[in-house]
Amino acid sequence: MPLLIITVLLQIGFVVHVIKTGRNTVWIWIVMLLPLVGFLSYLIVEILPEFMGSRRGKKASRAVGTLVNPHKDLKAALQSYAMSATVQNAMALAEQYLAKQSFAEARALYLQSLTGMHKTDPYLMFGLAKAEFGLAEYQSCKSVLDNLIQTNPEFKNEEAHLLYAKTLEALNESAAALHEYSVLANYYVGPEAKCRYALLCKKLGNQQLADKLFKEILTLANLSGKHYNSLHKEWIHCAKVESQNRKPVVASQ
């Protein structure tokens, strides 16, 4: 009996979906007369292609692919580099190593590539800085970024700027880090820079500014759509937790 009820409910659901989405009404007869075959056919022919073509579907497909074969992209990059050790292939492989947090391997490839005409390539230098930061070699990271700024003054990259601010903070150069975060907070896409700025303000005792920044993050999150909130959920959650943990100031008697 429960199976029959479930089948009927599924049939109703599929019929409603067919009608609401304007699909061929032949599907109604298929689903009603051949429930199991009808359900599977409708999913395969109508639902899956549409889902896989959507942004969410593509994202889900990539996630499943990564889950099934987590080293697929790394293996492909390794193969390409083994076949042709070009700077481009080395950079692609190094990016895969960064994604896998294999920072030493990434650093070796970047250092190997930063020669000749590519000696001051800004993207290679930025990659090397990310590898140094991942290895907690903060002074080396800062030196690379300082050199990047000096040799490529026209290079503008918000992620490189954020890395520079994080490096200064890691080196306990708080005043310089605050300055960089304050600049980033005005143009960085997403709440990470502003949240890091607020956390550093809080750490240094400027709770009033920290509260203001956390509030700005949450206000923007409330005004934004699901995609924005999903994309930046880590930092929005951080701002929410920090705001909730604030105790109201009790006026002295």
Q: pLDDT digit string (tens) for 122-136?
A: 999 999 999 999 999
Q: pLDDT digit string (tens) for 148-162?
A: 999 999 999 999 999
Domain ranges in the chain are 73-155
Max Cα separation, the chain? 78
One-letter amino acid at 51 equals F
Q: If 0-12 CB within 10 Å is exposed, 13-18 middle and 19+ buried, where does residue 26 land?
A: exposed
Q: What is the pLDDT of residue 48?
A: 72
Question: What is the average pLDDT value for the chain, to the nearest integer?
Answer: 86
Classify residue 224 by its DSSP letter.
Answer: S
Does the pLDDT of residue 145 top 80, yes or no? yes
Q: pLDDT digit string (tens) for 66-98?
A: 544 568 889 999 999 999 999 999 999 999 999
Angle at 56 between CA 15 and CA 159, to 5 degrees: 165
Architecture of domain 73-155: Alpha Horseshoe (1.25)
pTM attached to this predicted model: 0.72
* Rounded-to-integer distance, Cα 78 and Cα 92, Å: 9
Question: With contact defined as beta carbons under 8 Å apart, do 130 and 142 qualify?
Answer: no
Q: Six-digit token pair at 134? A: 């991942």
Does the pLDDT of residue 180 top 60, yes or no? yes
Q: Six-digit token pair at 16? A: 């409603």
Q: What is the pLDDT of residue 72?
A: 85
H or E, element range at 237: helix 233-244
Angle between helix 233-244 and helix 192-203 axes, rounded to 10 deg: 30
Residues in the chain: 253
One-letter amino acid at 169 equals E
Does the pLDDT of residue 116 top 90, yes or no? yes
Q: What is the pLDDT of residue 17?
A: 78
CA quadruple 170, 175, 178, 180: dihedral positive or negative? negative
Q: pLDDT digit string (tens) for 29-67?
A: 887 887 777 777 767 777 776 665 545 544 544 544 454
When pLDDT is cut at 50, 70 and 90, the band that residue 217 belongs to is: very high
Please choose, from the candidates 58, 66, 109, 106, the residue with its C-alpha nearest in 3D space to the C-alpha of residue 87.
Answer: 109
Q: What is the pLDDT of residue 55?
A: 53
